[in-house]
Amino acid sequence: MRPAAAGIKMPAPLQPARIEPMSKDEIYAAGDSDPGPFEFNETVARVFPDMLRRSIPGYTATLEAIGALAGRFVRPGTRCYDLGCSLGAATLAMQRAIRAVDCRIIAVDKAPAMVSRCREILAREAEPSGPPVEVVQADIRSIDVQRASMVVMNYTLQFVPVDGRSGLLTRLAAGMTDGGILVLSEKVVDDDAEIERLLVDLHHDYKRRNAYSDLEISRKRAALENVLLPERIGNHRQRLTDAGFRHVGVWLRQFNFVSLLAIR
């Protein structure tokens, strides 16, 4: 390992964020009641870390990479946005990795339960020497993005109505600095119907390995119908290009969960 140059402080190794002690996700375990359409309420907020860990393959790797990208791309005097921040996992990944001075992170979510818990977690877990974080309760479509060198939408756009996605990304791009990056993670639908069926089966197997029952898998899928609206990767690529991003590519994928990187 090369020694640090004299007078230059090397950053400490990144440590994984401890969001909170996990309550087990058993929302869809009981078959005698209908939980209705999925929503980010207090019940979901209470079990959300466990839900993500057991439901989204590659989620931890995505957070680790978001931190690495923040260390590389965030510039002094700029802002970073975590849109659809939920409990602040991506916010913490950025906050602990940013070395540029005079930066600020704005974490946005419209669900009161998520915002409340996010503020509690960040007050406990944020790095004191890191950039300050402002948590805002608002619809991400109403946020005025300015001087952004990094924007993260980690499984967020899929909950925005399809006809509002292009306008949102265009506004984001307009508020970003040259060379700024957007991390867009989404559940997607494959172009090939047979591959899509295979990916869905593999995802369900993943959830079974994480102790979800077939009943839970089925009920969760029904609850998300018409709430989470996935698209093809090609749709996302074209939309990002049309919005003004110069470079767009997939940088992480496991089954039908994809993270794209777009450079302004």
Q: Which residues pair with 263 in a beta bridge?
A: 181, 247
Q: Tokens for 49?
A: 């870390």
- Residue that is written with structure tokens 């090397």 in the block: 10
Cα atoms found within 13 Å of the Cα of residue 135, Cβ hemisphere only? 25
**Residue in 73, 71, 105 with CA at minimum distance from that of residue 89:** 105
Report the amino acid identity of residue 66.
I
CA separation for the pair 131, 92 (Å, rounded): 10
What confidence tens digit (pLDDT) does each residue in 186-207 have?
A: 999 999 999 999 999 999 999 9
Residues 6 or more apart in contact with residue 149 via CB below 8 angstroms:
73, 74, 75, 78, 79, 80, 103, 176, 177, 179, 180, 181
Residue 31's pLDDT is 66
Q: Tokens for 136?
A: 């805002």
Cα atoms found within 13 Å of the Cα of residue 44, Cβ hemisphere only? 18
What confidence tens digit (pLDDT) does each residue in 60-84 have?
A: 999 999 999 999 999 999 999 999 9
What confidence tens digit (pLDDT) does each residue in 74-131 have?
A: 999 999 999 999 999 999 999 999 999 999 999 999 999 999 999 999 999 999 999 9
Starting at the edge strand found earlier in the chain, the sheet holding 176-187 runs: 133-137, 104-109, 79-83, 148-154, 176-187, 257-263, 247-254
Cβ contact 154:183 at 8 Å? yes
Segments making up each domain of the chain, as ranges: 42-191+222-263
Fold of 42-191+222-263: Rossmann fold (3.40.50)
Residue 22's pLDDT is 61
In this prediction the pTM is: 0.90
CA separation for the pair 6, 87 (Å, rounded): 39
What confidence tens digit (pLDDT) does each residue in 17-32 have?
A: 445 546 899 999 876 6
Residues 6 or more apart in contact with residue 134 via CB below 8 angstroms:
104, 105, 106, 107
